Each structure stands twice: as structure tokens, then as C-alpha cells.
Amino acid sequence: MQLYNTLSAIERAALIEEAGKERLTISFYTYAHIGNTNIFRNHLFINWNEMDVLGRIYVAHEGINAQLSVPAENFNVFKEHLDSISFLENVRLNIAIEQDNLSFLKLKVKVRNKIVADGLEDNSFDVTNKGIHVGAEQFNELIEDPDTVLVDMRNHYESEIGHFKNAITPDVDTFRDSLDIIERDLADHKKDKKLVMYCTGGIRCEKASAYYKHKGFEQVYQLEGGIIEYTRQVENNNLENKFKGKNFVFDHRRGERISDDVIANCHQCGEPCDEHVNCANEACHLLFIQCKSCAEKMNNCCSDKCKEVHELPFEEQKALRKGKVVSNKIFKKGRSEVLKFKK
């Protein structure tokens, strides 16, 4: 029985291109009690692999967090399967604003301790005592209220390319870091200010809102469905769009444009730009913002040193990497001394 991928990303991309069929990029999450996470993980993989679903799915005892791509022609079958699972019936699906058939190239269903790495001890507070969910129209009204403090719960490299006007955008590398910063900065306003939060799809705000209520904040709100659902409601209901720039996404697209504003700059030359790339040197893989001119000049690398390595024969590059630990822990997103124009 197949429980893991057998095709490489390159092989999968070729098959998708050859098929020429439209795919939908979707995300969803829910908090629920899952007893045997391994059995549930295998159940999802077996069924979704048959539907040609691709993506990154985290399963934990506390629930599921999924970002995936499904063939448009299989969407109804996929939805029926979700509805057959009691805690996923009628779960809200965030449909991507900008579609890309190559947004995901492998199906990865992983068992984790948590569906979001928040660094919190959940036993210390009631995670179900969440903030008030608001849609786009009420959110627009709230953020114009002088008694509102609007907080972006995403990381620095996400908010750098797009955020709501007047939002506090903590310069943090992790979700956990922002929790303490916000609590400290707003310590004197737990009763008199409305704390309004947003993130990409809503999942980070679920836990954050409960955490801040536990910490004594009395007026806590969160944007229902995050930036993705906000954009859909703005378009469908002809509302004013108060988000500027791009929404960073965690797939091969790296971002989807919400407004025409370009609020970031190339990290190498300083020109206006909001295109995230990964350094072409596989031993580096740094995430940073690079314009087309610098991409051509630097051969898609973040520094002259990486450029030199990337231009070596492939076998020499492999030899240089041999014995070195390569993991996401050493891939610093958007932070490096070589990035002269990082804000």
C-alpha cells in the first residue's frame, strides 16, 4: 500500500504540464480532537493520493492544518470526502486568489505535535475561549476606530510585502515571538483598546486570540478566514480594499497580489520590488526579495559567494555540501548580512 510520494517534484511538474488540466489551490484548518493521528494521516494520504491531491498537511491531536492543490475536476469528490469526516464537514475552504497549477508538487501529510508551531503551553489557558470573528465589512469599520489596535500576526518577511494600513507589523521570525512583544507593548491598554488581529488564513489568530484573552485583554477580535477570505469578500461585496501589496503564501507561488501597491524593495539594489525568491545555491536557499535585474546579474543568488558556488559543476557543489547539516533551521528567511537593502 502506497503511503508516501514516489515521484520527484520535477517528475510531478512534468505530468501536470502534460495533463493541461486546471488545479485549485486551497487551504483550511480546524481544531478537533484526533485520537490516533497516524491512522488518520494514512487515511488522508490513501484517499487524497487517488484524487491527485498535492500539498502540505499537518495532523496533530489538536486538529489539522492543510494547504493543498486539487484538480478542479476532482473538487466535488474531494469535498465529499471532507464532509464524510465529522469534524471536517462544511469546514471553510480558503480558495487562493491567484491560481497556479504548480503551487504544490508533492503530497506530504505529516504528523506533528501541533498544527501551528506556536511554542505555547496549551494547558495553561482555554484554547476554545477565542476572540470575536469578524468579516471584511466589520473589519474595515473596526480598523478605522481610534480605539482599535490592529496587529499583523505574521512574520517579518510576510508583512514586508503586504499588510493592512496602520497595522503594527512586529519584526519577528516566529509567531511565538510576536505574542510577547504585543502583550508587552499593549500592557496598559488591556481594557480600553480593541485588539484586532489578522494573519494569512486565520489559524494563527485562533490560538493568539485565546492567549490574549487569557492574558487579560477584554476586547479581542480576529479577521475571519484571514487575508484570503477578506479579499474574496471585498471582491464579492464591492467593499473598499484596505490591504496594500501582496499576501505571502507558503507554496511555490510565494505570494498573491491583493493590490497594485509595491511596498517592499529589492534586498540587493533597493529598487521597488516584492518578488520573493530562494537563493539558487542549494547550500544556502535563503529567502529574500530580488528584482529581475539583480536576478540576472547575480544568477539568482543572494551573494557573490553563493554565485560562485552555484556556477560550479553540479558534482563539485554536492561535494561542498557533503557532511553539512541542511535543514530549515539554518535557512534564515529574509535575514542576512549580504542583503544590503533589507528594511
Q: Could you give the domains of the chain?
A: 9-111 (3.30.70.100), 132-232 (3.40.250.10), 264-342 (no CATH)
> Is it the case that residue 31 has pLDDT exceeding 60?
yes
Q: Is 199 a catalytic residue?
A: yes
Average of per-residue pLDDT across 229-234: 96
Catalytic choice (199, 205, 284, 294): 199
DSSP state of 126: -
Task: Indicate the pLDDT class of residue 341, thresholds 50, 70 and 90.
Answer: confident
Query: What pLDDT, on the 0 to 100 scale, is given for residue 117?
Result: 81
Please tell me the distance from the alpha carbon of residue 223 to that of residue 198, in angstroms, as a whole number. 5
Radius of gyration for the alpha carbons in the chain, expressed in angstroms and rounded? 21
pLDDT > 80? residue 276: yes
Per residue in 283-307, pLDDT (tens digit) is: 888 999 999 999 999 999 999 999 9
- The per-residue pLDDT for 324 is 65
117-162 pLDDT, tens digit each: 887 776 777 877 889 999 999 999 999 999 999 999 999 999 999 9
First vs last Cα of the chain: how many Å apart? 50
Q: What is the pLDDT of residues 302-323, one digit of tens each?
A: 999 999 999 999 888 888 877 6
Residue pair 121/85 in contact (Cβ under 8 Å)? The answer is: no
Given a contact cutoff of 8 angstroms between Cβ atoms, the answer to whether 236 and 254 are in contact is no
Q: What is the pLDDT of residue 329?
A: 41
